[in-house]
Structure 1
Amino acid sequence: MTEACYHCGEPIPKNCEYEVEILGEVRRMCCPGCHAVANTIVASGLTSYYEFRTEKADRADLVPEALQTLQHYDLEEVQQDFVIGSEQNKEVTLSLEGVTCAACAWLIEKKLYELTGVVKVIVNTTTHRAVIGWKNDTVALSKILQAIHSLGYQAAPFAADSQEQHYHRTMKQYLYRIGIAGLATMQVMMLAVALYFEVFSDLDEAFRHYFRWVSLVFATPVLLYSALPFYLNAWRNIKARSLGMDVPVSIALLLAYFASLFATVKGTGEVFFESVAMFTFFLLLGRFLEMRVRRQAAAASANLLKLIPTIATLVNGDEIAAKLLKAGDRVRVLPGEAIPADAVLVSGETEVDEAMLSGESAPVKKYIGDLVYAGTINGDANIECEIQRDIKHSMINTIVRLQDEAQQSKPQIAELADKVARYFVVGILTISAATWLYWHGERPDDAFWIMLSVLVATCPCALSLATPTALTCGTSQMSKQGLLVRKSHVIETLCHVNHVILDKTGTLTEGKVTLARTLCFSQETEQAALRIAAGLEQYANHPIARAFSPFFDASLHFEDVTNHIGEGLEGVIDQQQWRIGTWHFACQGDCPNPDVQVWLSCNRELVAGFELEDPIREESPAFIRALHDKGVTVTMLTGDQSRTAEQVAHLLGIDRVQSGMSPEEKFRYLKSLPDSEITLMIGDGVNDAPTLAGAHLSVAMGGGTDIAKSSADMVLLGDQLAKVIGAKEIATRTRDIIWQNLLWSLGYNAVILPLAVMGMVAPYIAVFGMSASSLIVVTNSLRLMK
C-alpha cells in the first residue's frame, strides 16, 4: 500500500525522500512544496495545526490558515491602514496578548532583535502594545509576527476597537478563573479547618483521608485551569532562558499540589490543597484588579482614536468610510459632527471644539484657509473641508503613536528596575532552596510551607510595576493637559530644568504677523515691492512669510530660489538677483531704520523695508513671572535684528536677550552655557530646529513647523505656554511617585523576606502581601491621573 503524505494526504511517489520531524516523529512528504510548507509551520511554532486539524491540507492550499493570515500583513494594500514610514523603513504599532511583566517585554525585544532588518523594538507592558521598526527590503512583517507567535504571544496591528474587545474578553476569562478558584477555596478551606483545627476531635482516620481526596478534587481544576496563565508565562520565560515573576509563583503552586497529591495517595504527610486554591485565587484577584487600574492609565490615548467618525459625507452627498479619504477629497460636516480627517476649511466659518487635542474647553474660531483636525467637533455651522492627509497620518493618530512610543521607551530608572527584578527572581529561587535545606534539617514538617511562603511573598511584581505605571500615568496626564511627550527622558529631565530659552516670533508672540508699514527706497512702487516680496516668501514656512501671502501674484516666477535659514531668501527674475530678509543679508552699509524687520534688495541695492507687527501672547507675561517664581533663568534668542526684540524682552522682564542670531549662533550659544544649567528650549520655526535638538529638553509650539516638532522632545498643543509650568509640576510629582513605589516595593521585600525565611509568615499571608504590594504601587501611580 502506498504511503500518504503527512501534510496533504496524497500518495508519496517512489524514491521521494522528503521528511520533516513533526510532533516528535519523522513524517514523510510527497513533494518539495509540502516539505517547504511543513518546515515553515514547524519553524513558526505552529505545529498545533497538525495536532488539531480535522482533515489533510489541500495541495492547492498548502499553507494553513494561521500562516496565511500572517502573510496577508505583507500586502501593501493591507499595510496602508496601519503601517507608517517610507517604502524601505517602516514602523507599526502592535497589540500584544499574553504580556504581563517586564520579563515578557525583554523576551520579545531580545527575540525580534535577532531578526536581520529589525531596527526598533519597544514593548510596553502597561498598554500591551509594541512599536516595531524594520527595513522592508530585509525582513517581512509576517516574519516579525511569526517570531512573536513562536514565543507564545499573540500580536496584531493595533486598533482601538479590537484592543477594547480583547480587553473585555481577557477580563471575562479572568472572572471565570477567579470564580472557580474562589469556589474551590471556600470548599477546601472548610475541609482544612476540619483537618487541621480538629473541629471534629473524634474524626475517624478514614474520614480524614476522605477529606483529603475531596480537597484534591476541588484543587485540581484550580491548578489546571485557573492557574494556567501563570504557567504559560513561566514557560515562555524558561524557554527563552529568562526568569519572570511568574516563575517562582508557578513553582510554588506545582510543588504544593504534587507534594499534596503524593501525601494523599500515600496516606501520610501534610497536604497544601487549601494553599494551592488560595494562592491562585488571591493572585488572580490581584492581577484582575491590577489590570483594571492599569487600564485607566493606558486608555487615554486609545480613547482618542474612538473620536474619529467611521463615515464621512462628500460634498456631493455620497457617504464614504472615513479611513478611505485621501488628500484632495472634499467633505461636508454638519453642526455637531466630528471632522473625519485633517483638512482645510474651504467654505463657511465655524467654531471647533479642540479640547481632545489641546485640553482647552473654549471652542476655537475657524475661518476659510484654517486647519481643522480629525476627531474635533464642528460647532453650529455647515462647513466644507478639503482633506489634507489621510487618517493614518492625521494629528490625532500622530499623537497616539508618539505618546505610545514615549510610554514604551524606557528611561534609565525603568531599565534599572527591570534588570533588578530579573536578578531578584534568581535570588528568590536561591534563597527558597537554601531555606528548605535549613528547615529540613531543623523542622522537617515545616520546611515545605516555609519555602512556599518565601517563594510567593517575595515575588518582584511590585518592583516591575513601580516605574512603568507611574510613567504611563504621568505622560497620559500631560497629554490631557495638551502636552505631547515624544521622548522617554522628558519626565526625568523636566524636574531639573533651571534655564528656559525662548524664541520670540510665534512663541512669546502670537505668530500672527501682519504688515504695519512699507517703506520704499527706489523707483519700485509699494505694490510692486510687495508682489516681489510675496513671490520670494512663498518659498518659506515662517509666520513672517505668511504676512506677505495676501500680495502673492502667481504670474511672477522666480528662478534659483535659495532659503538661507534664519537670514532670508534670494531668487532671480530677468537676470536680477532679489533678496529679502535681515539687513545684513539683503543689503550693504548701515541700516537706515532699526524699527524695520524685513528688507528687500535687488542686486544688493536697497528697494524697500517692511515694518511688521506681531502681538505678544496674552499669557506670556504670566508665564515669564511663573518661571522667575520657580527660580528659572529666562533667555530670549531671536533672529530679529530690530529694536522690537529688546522691547519685547523689556516688557516681559526677560533676563537675557540675544537678537539677530542665525540658527548656528543660537546653537553655539546653547553649547556655551555651563553644565550646571539644564536647558529647556521652546520654539516653533525651522531656524529653531538645531537648538531644539541640542537642548537638554525641548518644546515645539503646536502651530510651528514640522521640522521643529520632529526635533523636539515635547509638542505643545494649543500653544498655551502656561502648560509647560504644569508639565514641570506633573514631572516632579511623577518622579516622587516613582521613588515612593520603588521604596515601597524594595522595603516590603526587605521586611517580608527575613520574616518568611524565619517561618513567621503563613502561606496565605504571603500571597495576600504580594498581591497587596502590587496593588498599592499601581494605585499610588493612579494618583497622577487626578
Structure 2
Amino acid sequence: MSGCFHCGEPLPAGNGFTATLEGESRPFCCPGCQAVAETIIDCGLGSYYQHRTSTPPKAGAVPEELRRLQHYDLDDIQQDFVLERDHLREVQLSIGGLSCAACAWLIERHLSQIPGVTLIQVNTTTERARLCWDERQTRLSTLLAAFAHIGYQARPFLPHQQELDYNREVKSYLLRLGVAGIASMQVMMVGFALYEDLFPDIDPGLVQLFRWVSLWLSVPVMAYSALPFYRNAWRGLRNRALNMDLPVSLAMLFAFVASVYATVTATGEVYYECVSMFAFLLLTGRFLEMRAKRRASETTANLTHHIPMLARLETGGDEQEVAAKTLMPGQIVRVSPGAVIPADGDIIEGSTSVDESMLTGEHLPVSRRPGEPVFAGTTNVESPLRICVSRRLADARVSEILRAQDDALQDKPKVAVLADQLSRYFVAALLLATLATWLVWLQLDADRAFWIMLSVLVATCPCALSLATPTALTVATSRLTRGGVLVRRAHVLDTLPKATRMVFDKTGTLTRGKVALAKVSLPGALAEQRALALAAALESGSEHPIAHAFLPYADAAIRVGQRQNHIGRGVSGQIEGQTWCLGSGAWLNPGAEDRDLCVYLANEQGLQARFTLNDPLRDEAAELIRQCHAQGLKTTILTGDGSGQAEYVAGALGVSELRKNATPDDKLAYLRECAGRGEVCLMVGDGINDAPVLAGAHASFAMAGGTDIAKNSADAILLGDDLRRLLLARRLAAAARRVIKQNFSWALGYNLIVLPLAATGHVSPWFAMLGMSASSLIVISNSLRLSRI
C-alpha cells in the first residue's frame, strides 16, 4: 500500500506508524489515523474499509480540542440547541469529513454502540446528524468525542449560523456574478470587432490584439467566477459520482483552452465571449435557484424572526426586561396589547384576541381567556395579559415546527431519489454521446469536430433535469406550511394523490374535542361532588379531551396511586386503599346501549357513576366528508368509543363506514385489511391511542391540539385544527406531482430535441448556452407556480 491505510494520504519519508489490524500490518501517515483505525477495528466495524467509496480527510482531534467539548455539557449552553424530554435529549449536529455513504454507516454503527444513545441518523447530503441520548447514561461531550475518535468533527447545528452561511453565500454569488457580468460585457464589445461578416477589412494585427485583450478579460471569469462549478465537479469525481457540474466545467474549460490555443497560434476561432457569457448565465441561474429555494423555505425560516428578543418578567411585584430565550417554566411574563408573546404559556390574567397566523395560516384572530394556552411568536391583539410560561423557547411550538420542517426537507421522497439517480445516469450518457459526436466528426470534418462536440456538451447539460424535482418539492412543502399543514416526512407528498380512503378518529378530530359535562347519574350512594372529584383525580395529567371535562372538579386532597392507562378503555388507580376505574361502557358496563357519549366510574363494589358528556361536531367536518366523497374518497370513522355517539356522528356527517369500540390493535388491523384490498389510507387522529395507527398508515395527520405522542407518530400536523386543510394538502400534492412531471417532460424533451440538432452541427455553442440556461429558468419558474395555489 503506497498511502495511509485510513486517509490515503502519502506516507512521510521514514514513517514508522504501523499497526496490525485483522492479521495484517497496515501503514499510517500519523498517530491520529492509526488511533482512528484501531478504534474502528476494535468496535467490530472493519467492513467500513471494504465498502467505502472514498477516503476521509486526515484524522486527529488533539486532546485540547477534546477537552473543550466538555463545555457542551453545560445547561446554559445546551438550551440554545438541545431539546429535552424527561431524561432524553436530542440535538442536530453538523458533521465535518463526510465523504460517502460508508461514512454515515460507520458513524451510525459506532455511536449506536454507546450506552444511552437511543437514535443516530446521518444525512450525507446535508452533512448533518440527528442524535438522541439518555442524559443519565452518557453526556453530549462524550458523544462528540466519539465522533472525533473515528475521524469526524461534530458540532451543534444552529439555525442562526445557517442564516449567516446563506448571507455569506449570497454575497459570494453576487460578487462572482458581478465579475462575470462586467467581464462578459467587455469581452462582447471587443469580440464584436472580430466578426468577419461585419468588419471584413480589419487589420490582422488588430484582430490578434483584440484576441489577447479578450483572453485577459476572460481570465477573472474562468479563475474566479466559475470556481464553484469546478469545485463541485471535482468533488463528484473524487467521490466517484457524476454531477451536472462536470459537463458544465468541461465545456467551459474546453472552450477556453481551445480559444487560448487559437490566440497563441493565431489560427482558428476564439469563443471568449461565449465562455464568459456562459459562466454569467450559469451563475444567474444558480443564484435564482438559490433565491427560489430560500423564498420557498422562508415561511419556516422566518418563524424565528417573529419571536421577540426581550420579555417583561415579573420579579417580586416588579418587572424587568430579560432575554426571551432565558425564560423558564413557571415564570410570569406580561404582554402588552400589540406585542408579540415571547414564550409558550397559559393565560393567568386577561382576555384578548391572538393573531396566530404565523403558526396556523389562519389570519382571523382567535379569542383566548384565562387558563387557555398561547404560543411564542403570536401577537396579542387587544388587552394586556399575564402569562405563566409552560415551556422553554427551545421546546416551544415554533421550535418544534422548525425542527419538523428541517427533517422534512432532509427526507427525500421516492420521486426525488429517482430523479437523483436519473441525473447521474443522464450525465454518463451525455458524456458518452459527446465523445461519440467528437469521434464521428473527426472523420467527417476535423475542423468542426471540437466545436460541435462543445455544442453537444453545453446544450444537453442536465441542469434543468436535476432541478425538476427538488425545486418543486421545496416550494410545495413551504406552501403547505404557510397553509397550516406541517409536513414532517416527505413521502406525504407522494402518497396524498394516491389516497383512496380517509380514516378519522372521532373525539378531538371530527368533533371539537372540547368535551363538556352534560349530566351525572348516580346508581349508588356516592355523592355527585365526590364522584366528580374522583374522576378528576383519575384523569389528572391526561391529555385526552375527555380529561379536560373533569378538570374543574379536581380536589388536591385526593391522591391517586398505581395509576395505569388502559389504552382504548380508560384509566385505573388506587384511591384511599380502593381500586377505582374510569372509562368506557364497553369496559365497565358491557351491554349498555348509550346513545350519548358516556364515561363510567366504578370501584370494587361495581358501577358508581355515569357521566354524560357533550362534544359538538367541528363546523367544517360535514363539508370535508362531502368533498371527500365528491373526489371519490371513501371515508371511515375508527373510534374507541362504543357508545351511540359514534353512530350519531357517522350518520350526521354521512361517513361511509363506522368501526367503533376499536382498540389500537383493532385500528391497526383495519388499516392492514384495507391495504390488503389495495387501498391507500390517510389516517387523521389526535390521541395517545391513535399513535400506533398514525405510525402504521400510508400517510397520517395529527391535529395541532392532539397529544405529543400522536404528533410525533404522524407524518404531518394540521397546525390550525382545520380539517379542510387536508383537502388543500391533497390538492397541492397533486399539483406538485403534475409540476414535477411537466418539469421532467420539458427537461427530457428539450434534451432529446437539442441533442440531434447539436450533434449534426445545427446549434452553435453560444446558442446552446442560451438554450441550456433558458431551460433551467423555465423549470424553476414552473415550480414557483406552486406557491400561488
TM-score (norm 1): 0.86
Q: Tell me if structure 2 keeps the 8 A contact 1:314–1:330.
A: yes
Q: Tell me if structure 2 keeps the 8 A contact 1:539–1:563.
A: no
Change over 3 Å in CA distance of 1:534–1:187 after alignment to 2: closer
Q: 2:367 is paired with a residue of what secondary structure?
A: strand
Change over 3 Å in CA distance of 1:148–1:438 after alignment to 2: farther
The whole-number CA distance in structure 2 between the counterparts of 1:107 and 1:592 is: 64
Alignment partner, residue 642 of structure 1: 643
Corresponding letter in the other structure for 1:670: L
1:147-158 matched pairs, under 5 angstroms = 157-158=157-158
Q: Tell me if structure 2 keeps the 8 A contact 1:21–1:27.
A: no
1:430-449 matched pairs, under 5 angstroms = 430-449=432-451
Change over 3 Å in CA distance of 1:287–1:269 after alignment to 2: same
Change over 3 Å in CA distance of 1:297–1:143 after alignment to 2: farther
Q: 1:597 is paired with a residue of what secondary structure?
A: strand
Deviation at 1:241, TM superposition (A): 2.0
Q: Tell me if structure 1 keeps the 8 A contact 2:82–2:89.
A: no
Deviation at 1:495, TM superposition (A): 0.5
Q: 2:194 is paired with a residue of what secondary structure?
A: helix
The whole-number CA distance in structure 2 between the counterparts of 1:197 and 1:649 is: 82
Deviation at 1:91, TM superposition (A): 3.4
Change over 3 Å in CA distance of 1:683–1:221 after alignment to 2: same
Q: Tell me if structure 2 keeps the 8 A contact 1:129–1:158.
A: no
Alignment partner, residue 691 of structure 1: 693
Alignment partner, residue 723 of structure 1: 725
Deviations for 1:731-756, whole angstroms, at most 9, x for unmatched residues? 11111111111111111111111211
Alignment partner, residue 564 of structure 1: 566
Change over 3 Å in CA distance of 1:40–1:624 after alignment to 2: same
The whole-number CA distance in structure 2 between the counterparts of 1:476 and 1:644 is: 38
Q: Tell me if structure 1 keeps the 8 A contact 2:344–2:376.
A: yes
Deviation at 1:146, TM superposition (A): 12
Alignment partner, residue 777 of structure 1: 779
The whole-number CA distance in structure 1 between the counterparts of 2:758 and 2:770 is: 13
Deviation at 1:782, TM superposition (A): 0.5
2:386 to 356, 380, 384: 384
Corresponding letter in the other structure for 2:91: E
Q: 2:498 is paired with a residue of what secondary structure?
A: coil
| Farther-moved stretch of structure 1 (438-447 vs 507-516) | 438-447
Deviation at 1:37, TM superposition (A): 8.5
Change over 3 Å in CA distance of 1:625–1:166 after alignment to 2: same
| Farther-moved stretch of structure 1 (429-438 vs 757-766) | 429-438
Alignment partner, residue 364 of structure 2: 362
Change over 3 Å in CA distance of 1:636–1:259 after alignment to 2: same
Q: Is residue 597 from structure 1 mapped to residue 602 from structure 2 by the alignment?
A: no
Q: 2:572 is paired with a residue of what secondary structure?
A: strand
Deviation at 1:74, TM superposition (A): 8.0
Q: Tell me if structure 2 keeps the 8 A contact 1:692–1:698.
A: yes
Q: Is residue 618 from structure 1 mapped to residue 614 from structure 2 by the alignment?
A: no
The whole-number CA distance in structure 2 between the counterparts of 1:505 and 1:606 is: 24
The whole-number CA distance in structure 1 between the counterparts of 2:438 and 2:638 is: 67
Deviations for 1:440-499, whole angstroms, at most 9, x for unmatched residues? 222111111111111121111111111111111111111111111111111111102121
Deviation at 1:402, TM superposition (A): 0.8
Deviations for 1:71-117, whole angstroms, at most 9, x for unmatched residues? 97687754431244677874316599xxxxxxx9x966664444354
Change over 3 Å in CA distance of 1:38–1:418 after alignment to 2: closer
Q: Tell me if structure 1 keeps the 8 A contact 2:299–2:478.
A: yes
The whole-number CA distance in structure 2 between the counterparts of 1:461 and 1:344 is: 51
TM-score (norm 2): 0.85
2:484 to 467, 482, 485: 482
Alignment partner, residue 416 of structure 1: 418
Deviation at 1:155, TM superposition (A): 9.0
Deviation at 1:540, TM superposition (A): 3.0
Corresponding letter in the other structure for 1:242: A
Deviations for 1:738-783, whole angstroms, at most 9, x for unmatched residues? 1111111111111111211112111111111111111111111110
1:467 to 453, 461, 469: 469
Deviations for 1:327-371, whole angstroms, at most 9, x for unmatched residues? 222211111111112112222222111011111111111122211
Corresponding letter in the other structure for 2:627: A
The whole-number CA distance in structure 2 between the counterparts of 1:147 and 1:302 is: 33
Change over 3 Å in CA distance of 1:613–1:156 after alignment to 2: closer
Corresponding letter in the other structure for 1:336: G
Alignment partner, residue 214 of structure 1: 213
Change over 3 Å in CA distance of 1:390–1:491 after alignment to 2: same
The whole-number CA distance in structure 1 between the counterparts of 2:429 and 2:69 is: 40
Q: 2:617 is paired with a residue of what secondary structure?
A: coil
Change over 3 Å in CA distance of 1:82–1:618 after alignment to 2: same
Deviations for 1:574-625, whole angstroms, at most 9, x for unmatched residues? 432221112242246x538654611111215121111111111111111111
Deviations for 1:637-683, whole angstroms, at most 9, x for unmatched residues? 22222222212221211222222222222222222224332111111
The whole-number CA distance in structure 1 between the counterparts of 2:678 and 2:308 is: 49
The whole-number CA distance in structure 2 between the counterparts of 1:69 and 1:273 is: 52
Q: Is residue 662 from structure 1 mapped to residue 663 from structure 2 by the alignment?
A: yes
Alignment partner, residue 121 of structure 1: 122
| Farther-moved stretch of structure 1 (259-268 vs 555-564) | 259-268
Q: Tell me if structure 2 keeps the 8 A contact 1:597–1:641.
A: no
Change over 3 Å in CA distance of 1:424–1:188 after alignment to 2: same
Alignment partner, residue 497 of structure 1: 499
Q: Tell me if structure 1 keeps the 8 A contact 2:691–2:709.
A: yes
Deviation at 1:137, TM superposition (A): 7.2
Q: Tell me if structure 1 keeps the 8 A contact 2:247–2:427.
A: yes
Corresponding letter in the other structure for 2:303: L
Deviation at 1:730, TM superposition (A): 0.8
The whole-number CA distance in structure 2 between the counterparts of 1:72 and 1:271 is: 59
The whole-number CA distance in structure 2 between the counterparts of 1:442 and 1:586 is: 91
1:114-263 matched pairs, under 5 angstroms = 114-115=106-107, 116-117=109-110, 119-122=120-123, 130=128, 132-133=130-131, 140-141=143-144, 157-160=157-160, 162-263=161-262
Alignment partner, residue 630 of structure 1: 631
Deviation at 1:395, TM superposition (A): 0.7
Change over 3 Å in CA distance of 1:209–1:676 after alignment to 2: same
The whole-number CA distance in structure 2 between the counterparts of 1:147 and 1:762 is: 51
RMSD across aligned positions (CA): 3.4
Q: 2:762 is paired with a residue of what secondary structure?
A: coil
The whole-number CA distance in structure 1 between the counterparts of 2:656 and 2:768 is: 58
Q: Tell me if structure 2 keeps the 8 A contact 1:578–1:604.
A: no
Change over 3 Å in CA distance of 1:184–1:191 after alignment to 2: same
Corresponding letter in the other structure for 1:619: E
Deviations for 1:187-220, whole angstroms, at most 9, x for unmatched residues? 3333333334254333333323222211211111
The whole-number CA distance in structure 2 between the counterparts of 1:144 and 1:22 is: 21
Deviation at 1:21, TM superposition (A): 12
The whole-number CA distance in structure 1 between the counterparts of 2:619 and 2:629 is: 17
Change over 3 Å in CA distance of 1:733–1:596 after alignment to 2: closer
The whole-number CA distance in structure 2 between the counterparts of 1:72 and 1:217 is: 52
Corresponding letter in the other structure for 2:268: G
Identity %: 45
Alignment partner, residue 679 of structure 2: 677
Change over 3 Å in CA distance of 1:641–1:762 after alignment to 2: same
Change over 3 Å in CA distance of 1:625–1:411 after alignment to 2: same
Deviations for 1:390-420, whole angstroms, at most 9, x for unmatched residues? 1122111111211121122111111011011
Alignment partner, residue 24 of structure 2: none
* Structure 2 gaps, min length 5: 1-6, 17-28, 37-54, 112-119
Corresponding letter in the other structure for 1:757: A
Corresponding letter in the other structure for 2:92: V
1:277-292 matched pairs, under 5 angstroms = 277-292=276-291
Q: 2:423 is paired with a residue of what secondary structure?
A: helix
Q: Tell me if structure 2 keeps the 8 A contact 1:74–1:141.
A: no
Alignment partner, residue 92 of structure 2: 92
Alignment partner, residue 652 of structure 1: 653
Alignment partner, residue 51 of structure 1: none
Corresponding letter in the other structure for 1:243: L
The whole-number CA distance in structure 2 between the counterparts of 1:608 and 1:273 is: 90
Q: Tell me if structure 1 keeps the 8 A contact 2:94–2:157.
A: yes
* Structure 1 gaps, min length 5: 1-19, 48-60, 97-103
Q: Tell me if structure 2 keeps the 8 A contact 1:88–1:137.
A: no
Q: Tell me if structure 2 keeps the 8 A contact 1:399–1:484.
A: yes
